[in-house]
A = this chain, B = another copy of it.
């Protein structure tokens, strides 16, 4: 399989399936464009017409309130028509292949496919087969990739910290099974942070060869000491079992981010979480809702990032249409 090329022949970003291999320039361009769409929530949201006449198909084969809603609002606030298709499952149930479903929707003039799927490789498969004017955006792929989450995390940190180069960033929890951690690793190793730490029980660490530039910590206290950014991950029951800490209380006692532990980080450290949170499991409620938390700001940035991304890949489509 040839390496995935997310750019078109003219060098414009066309798909976003992974942050791996992206250079800083297109990432920073997306962050800059996203920043223009950020509004305080008590103001009217940013809206526009740049996607008017275009169709975005949101295909979610795993349930997701936040990411689906975020892409849907991003697309609609730019004037696109949005098709929500949990319904893909029904075609699969009837035995239609993924690609036939995609080709069918493409034949109805779908311009962007937003895809969340638990199976690795589906986004790539689709990107390899759609027509040249069509874009594929991952909304989360198995444990591998969640690129818009990486972008919104970077945007949030830049808003609070100005730049990345001096920062100590600690990602804490189930790194091994987390697409959020992988996309964070990719974007911050590309943008360059002072120190990138992964902090987890042994059983939840990635393979030794993965994340080579990260420093590994097997205690949360050591891992977040003097950190500028503490990024907590969602832990699932079966992963706790795997880490031999089957009780949520025990997990919280050993790995939960409490106010006391957070005090080990820098005074102005920020706390992040991709959501949905397990309160009192991986994070204490008073920390989640405390003054250092930027969790809601992450959500707001998520819509802005997705607007910027849709405009970037479709600006391209718009341009191509001109000569026709």
Contacts and interface: CB of A to CB of B under 8 A. Distances in A.
- A55, A107, A297: residue with the most chain B Cβ atoms closer than 10 Å: A107
Contact of A100 (B45, B103, B277): B277
Contacts of A303: 108-109
Q: Assembly of this chain: how many copies? A: 3
Contact of A133 (B42, B81, B101): B42
Contact of A41 (B44, B64, B69, B107): B107
Interface string A30-46: 00000000010111110
Contacts of A42: 131-133, 320-321, 324
A275 interface: yes
A11 to B, nearest CB: 20
A48 to B, nearest CB: 11
A104 B45 contact: no
A72 B82 CA distance: 10
A65 B57 CA distance: 12
A186 B83 CA distance: 32
Given A44-B54, A53-B47, A85 B104 contact: no
Interface string A92-125: 0111110011011111110000000000000000
Interface-centre pick from A39, A54, A133, A276 (highest chain B CB count, 10 A):
A276
A267 interface: no
A300 B69 contact: no
Interface string A63-102: 1111011101100110001010101101101111100110
Contact of A81 (B66, B77, B88): B77
Given A43-B324, A69-B105, 9 more contacts: A42-B131, A42-B132, A63-B94, A64-B87, A69-B83, A72-B83, A77-B81, A100-B279, A103-B296
